[in-house]
Chain A
Amino acid sequence: MRPFRSRTTAAALGSTALAAALLLTGCGSGGPASKDTAADAKVTLTVDLFGTFGFKESGLYDEYSKLHPNVTIKQTDTQDEAQYWQALQTKLAGGGGLADVQGLEVGRAASVVQKQADKFTDLKTLGLGGVNDELVPWKGAAVKTADGRVLGAGTDIGPEAICYRTDLFKAAGLPTDRTELAAKWSTWQGYLDLGKTYAGKAEPGNAWTDSAAGMFTAEVGQQKVRYADESGKPVFDTSAAVRTAWTDANRLVADGLSAKLPQWTPEWNKAFTTGKFATLSCPAWMIGYIKGQAGDAGTGKWDIAPGPGKTGNWGGSYLTIPRTAKHPKEAAELVKWLTAKEQQAKLFTKQGSFPSSTGAQAEIKATTDPYFNNAPIGQIFSESAANMPAQVLGTEDGVIGKAFTDALGEVERTATAPDTAWQHAMDNIRKANGN
């Protein structure tokens, strides 16, 4: 869809060098940017995002530019959120290179709220006090500081389902009907069992799912408490939710059901077109990702059914305005417009990112998606979202999640014993936290 590595890494290196230079010369923060107040002056707003937000793809930018002829929007995008976060931290430290609008993944929200609240603009000061009022309550609460500042505007949430390839299912003699499949994989055990049936009949080299990491993340996302408890204490090493998901994901590997593809890599992206796996843990935003990777050739091959446990949340995002934004007022207008319920609803019908606005959620219930065999995506994801737990977020969720998925990669790709890999995950988390 877009060049994912060269540009992002170059940008990361560039910004690193910049921040290092700033840090070394002892000047920690950039000067206040000029604030353009003239109403009709030409303004170029920069927007820096990760993954697939879909604003551009669904034509929202074009629409906005028509409404505001003086505004030009320039978007940059990093596929891998871990790389995006790294670059963002570097720019925040150096105080330079930040866009007017920066995306923020929900797993990083606690970290920003607790450690870096001063580096982002309180949206209330820009007249966006009510921007999160219409959202599902936990979504807005996650970006609110203890003293009431609002640091981000909610875009989407990630209700879970399973995406699957009807053509591969048919070839292996499996049912392709959504309701039938949803019943068969109403539990993760059922999902693994059906996978074994598939593996017995499918062509060699064609796996049941892309990776153990995908299944693990989806399964952990179904519990209220996963990596940290309500008091903020890390519980990733003792949490039953993590243990169960870990065991299930390892069973997936042991049964040979994984294509062993690390997510967000070129190999993984290519596998969308070659059909190397039959199912994929599918939070709503994955729909846009699949469309981007599989392209027009994938039309009609994919379908969606409610997944194991029927619910869960994986990801979802916010839009923030850094303190150093050049055009905070115009950026606030854009953020307000992009996260309003009309736009959230449109984003879902075109791109699949599920709205966090309750108003938009009410509007999109009847949506079907022709790309996915006219699957009733509105209904499937609405039900998933309605039952979703209000997830407890910890400051280190991003780091911890990555350590676990890396460890699962070791199990599936280097035949490391699960217990050893678990220990590696613990070591990596410890290292990242500086202990």
Chain B
Amino acid sequence: MAISSARLPAVASAGPRPRRAGRLAPYGFVAPFFVLFAAFGLFPLLYTAYVSLHRVELQTADRMDWLGLQNYTRLLEDPFFWNALRNTFTIGVLSTVPQLLMALGLAHLLNYRLRGRTFFRVAMLMPYATSVAAATLVFAQLFGRDYGLINWALGSVGLDPVDWQADTWASQFGVSAIVTWRWTGYNALIYLAGMQAIPADLYESAAVDGASRWQQFRHITVPGLRPTIVFTVVVSTIGATQLFGEPLLYEGNSGGGISHQYQTLGLYMYEQGWSFFHLGRAAAVAWVMFLLIVVLALVNAAVAARRNRTDR
């Protein structure tokens, strides 16, 4: 806004100069986004960086003591931080990998001429439309140790009950199951859209050559979808790094289980800030997460670029 309104009078006084105004118009149209971004994105980001260099406690939030980088160095020495980082990684892998593979398979099936195809496609999006809170509460009930449906089913085939909340792998699996359930359909629809851009005659000629559906999938669908796959991998990686709602609501506390066995970075940050009231420390975690995401995005992009080069 600032740019266009500052320049406009000059434009008007210099008489009709449509080319200049025409050049400026796009800035005017994109300005609202950048103004809002500066107010609600950039400013908080920078202010968080500022806070992260101080000791700030929620109970006495008006007092700030300069610490320099101490919050960051203390963070790197904190075993709970490394634990959270490790959990974020394992839960990320446990949820993202099966999620994307299943989405790919589902999209492939939906790409065939099916009766009630629209119904299935809409149904795919239902979990995504469900709120995290609602989904997690239902899953927490399913995974209950004494009265949960899953342990009941295990028991009915003679297996021992699993403590889905206290056990490390079982609890991480539980959290991953919620994430997978919510996002599989969403990714499937993105893949489906990508698949529709692959020319149908490729499949037809492959079929004529006697390629099975599995061979068609491997040799036509997957290569054709590569940019889409890269996109979903990047988005899912970012999502997994920020994982917060599901593990928070899984047992209803920010510790991530009694041994912090499924405490993710997001939860760790929340715990520092809103359970222990160390806002400076929480801000440092937020910045570390931000940098981590930037690095992960760059790595993803580099891998994708390299694959593209080797293919050509």
- A residues near B, CB below 8 A? 5-6, 8-10, 12, 16, 19, 23-24, 26, 28, 80, 82-83, 86, 89-90, 92-93, 111, 115-116, 261-262, 265-267, 270-271, 274, 276, 399, 406-407, 409-410, 413-414, 416, 424, 427, 431-434
Contact = CB atoms under 8 A, between A and B. Distances in A.
B35 interface: no
Contacts of A266: 140-141, 144
Nearest to B48: A24
Contact of A9 (B60, B133, B163): B133
- Chain B interface size, as a band, is 35 or more
5 contacts: A19-B58, A80-B252, A111-B59, A266-B140, A416-B259
B61 A86 contact: no
B115 to A, nearest CB: 38
A19 B61 CA distance: 11
Interface string B145-163: 1110000000000000001
B274 interface: yes
Contacts of A416: 259
A414 B167 contact: yes
A414 B166 contact: yes
Interface in B251-293: 251-255, 258-259, 270, 274-279, 281
A409 B61 contact: no
B44 A267 contact: no
Given A431-B80, A434-B278, A414 B259 contact: yes
Contacts of A265: 251-252
B70 to A, nearest CB: 11
A24 B47 contact: yes
Contacts of B279: 23
Contacts of B192: none
Contacts of B274: 12, 16, 86, 89-90
A91 B291 CA distance: 30
B58 to A, nearest CB: 5
A270 B249 contact: no
A208 to B, nearest CB: 16
Nearest to B145: A267
Contact of B58 (A89, A267, A427, A432): A89
B258 A413 contact: yes
In order of increasing CB-CB distance, the 10 nearest A-B pairs are A413-B166, A409-B258, A93-B58, A432-B276, A406-B258, A24-B44, A93-B61, A414-B166, A115-B59, A5-B252
Contacts of B278: 434
Contacts of A6: 133-134, 137
A272 to B, nearest CB: 12
Contacts of B270: 16
B155 to A, nearest CB: 11
A5 B138 CA distance: 12
Interface string B39-71: 000011001100000000111111000000000
B88 to A, nearest CB: 18
Contacts of A8: 252
A9 B276 contact: no
Interface in B116-158: 133-134, 137, 140-141, 144-147
A89 B249 contact: no
Contacts of B61: 23, 28, 93
B78 A270 contact: no
B100 interface: no
A410 B141 CA distance: 21
Given A9-B133, A86-B274, A424 B259 contact: yes
A89 B251 contact: no
B84 to A, nearest CB: 12
A83 B253 contact: yes
A322 B78 CA distance: 36
Contacts of B179: none
A267 B133 contact: no
Contact of A83 (B44, B59, B60, B252): B252
A8 B248 CA distance: 12
Contacts of B163: 413-414
A416 B167 CA distance: 11
Contacts of A16: 270, 274
A371 to B, nearest CB: 24
B255 A89 contact: no
Contact of B146 (A12, A28, A271): A271
A83 B252 CA distance: 9
B144 A82 contact: no
A432 to B, nearest CB: 5
A378 to B, nearest CB: 35
A416 B249 CA distance: 24
Nearest to A3: B137
Nearest to A29: B62
Contacts of B48: 24
A19 B277 CA distance: 12
Given A432-B276, A434-B276, A410 B259 contact: yes
B59 A89 contact: yes
Given A28-B61, A90-B58, A410-B259, A270 B147 contact: yes
Given A24-B48, A431-B80, 5 more contacts: A24-B43, A274-B147, A406-B255, A413-B163, A427-B80
A249 to B, nearest CB: 14
B133 A10 contact: yes
B149 to A, nearest CB: 13
B137 A5 contact: yes
A9 B80 contact: no
A157 B59 CA distance: 26
A397 B273 CA distance: 19
A9 B252 contact: yes
A6 B136 CA distance: 10
Nearest to A79: B252
Contacts of A432: 275-276
Given A83-B253, A431-B78, A431-B80, A267 B147 contact: yes
B253 to A, nearest CB: 7
A190 B228 CA distance: 68
B248 to A, nearest CB: 7
A9 B146 CA distance: 23
A115 B62 CA distance: 13
A414 B163 CA distance: 9
